[in-house]
């Protein structure tokens, strides 16, 4: 039987030495020096980015209040219905969040049933808003028509981008009075932009036979409304109805509770001076239909002659 020949151990050692040498060379190779320049700041995200992730992923259609701290849908889910909301959106900065968090902390110290709207359950910051409509339910064939009418009425209102400031902290009930919201009262802006936008949105809602915000229902026989479809209702000639001054109703919600609340403890000590430096800028109206958010830009703010000189 022939013998199998194996390589000599010395040959193995010789063949392995170059590899070891390469390994040592890699270990002792000088590392490239890192740049000592300070990191550059990233540019801000475009406004449209927030619209892409404005809605959580739906995990079911059944209403289970235990999953939402006892909350129930204002409008029950029905196949073919699309929850809709018109609003102004605010993404507060770091200093503003610190101030607002302090206000919410005073409320949660006074009552264990208060839940924040500043952060999600995972601690992610949430946008705040000023409502320009109630929570609506549109049929599938109404979506495009409603968005078109809101866009048209907002454009006709010719509202320019504007700033708002805040006057007080108060509890506001919702329309059904089954939830209460700790909110910042909004000061009436100089050109009455909020009331004008509310009037535009209410006009669109009225034409689509949807409930209006902060305005009582029109005095009209119920059988007359039932005899007309929303398309017939929208095509009827209408006289513009002046919207009452609703400045006291506009607010930004910071927290909510299922129980009636009142200002107590540290909340009573909040003065207008604490809110003096808090403000925000609005340059578009948001329309959320289902999971889709559309931004309707407002007219650009007019630049004064002195500002033009500074920009040149």
Residues known to be catalytic: 129, 251
Length of the chain: 312
- CB hemisphere CA count around 223 (13 angstroms): 0
Place of tokens 């959580």: 56
How many other CB atoms sit within 10 Å of the CB of residue 275? 19
Strand, helix or coil for residue 169? strand
CA angle (112, 250, 101) in 5-degree steps: 35
- Strand ranges, E, within 27-161: 81-90, 115-116, 128-131, 136-139
Gap between the Cα atoms of 294 and 286, Å rounded:
6
CA-CA distance, 311 to 305, in Å (whole number)?
Answer: 10
What is the DSSP pairing of strand 136-139 with strand 128-131? unpaired
Using DSSP's 3-state secondary structure scheme, residue 18 falls into helix
């Amino acid at each position: 039987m022939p013998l199998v020949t194996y390589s000599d151990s010395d040959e193995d050692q010789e063949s392995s030495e170059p590899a070891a040498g390469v390994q040592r060379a890699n270990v002792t190779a000088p590392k490239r020096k890192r740049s000592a320049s300070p990191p550059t700041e990233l540019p801000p995200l475009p406004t449209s980015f927030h619209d892409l992730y404005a809605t959580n992923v739906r995990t079911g259609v059944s209403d289970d209040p235990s999953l939402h701290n006892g909350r129930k849908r204002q409008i029950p889910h029905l196949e073919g219905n699309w929850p809709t909301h018109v609003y102004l959106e605010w993404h507060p900065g770091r200093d503003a969040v610190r101030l607002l968090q302090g206000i919410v902390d005073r409320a949660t110290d006074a009552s264990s049933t208060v839940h924040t709207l500043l952060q999600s359950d995972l601690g992610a910051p949430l946008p705040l808003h000023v409502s320009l409509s109630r929570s609506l339910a549109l049929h599938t064939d109404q979506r495009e028509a409603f968005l078109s009418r809101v866009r048209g009425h907002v454009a006709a209102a010719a509202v320019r981008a504007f700033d708002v400031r805040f006057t007080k902290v108060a509890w506001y009930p919702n329309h059904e009075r089954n939830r209460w919201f700790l909110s910042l009262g909004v000061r009436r802006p100089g050109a009455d932009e909020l009331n004008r936008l509310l009037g535009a949105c209410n006009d669109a809602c009225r034409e689509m036979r949807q409930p209006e915000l902060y305005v009582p229902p029109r005095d009209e026989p119920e059988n007359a409304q039932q005899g007309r479809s929303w398309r017939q209702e929208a095509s009827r000639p209408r006289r513009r109805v002046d919207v009452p001054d609703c400045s006291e109703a506009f607010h930004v919600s910071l927290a909510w509770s299922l129980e009636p609340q009142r200002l107590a403890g540290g909340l009573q000590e909040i003065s207008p001076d604490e809110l003096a430096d808090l403000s925000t800028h609005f340059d578009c109206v948001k329309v959320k239909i289902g999971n889709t958010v559309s931004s309707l830009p407002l007219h650009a703010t007019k630049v004064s002659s002195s500002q033009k000189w500074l920009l040149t």
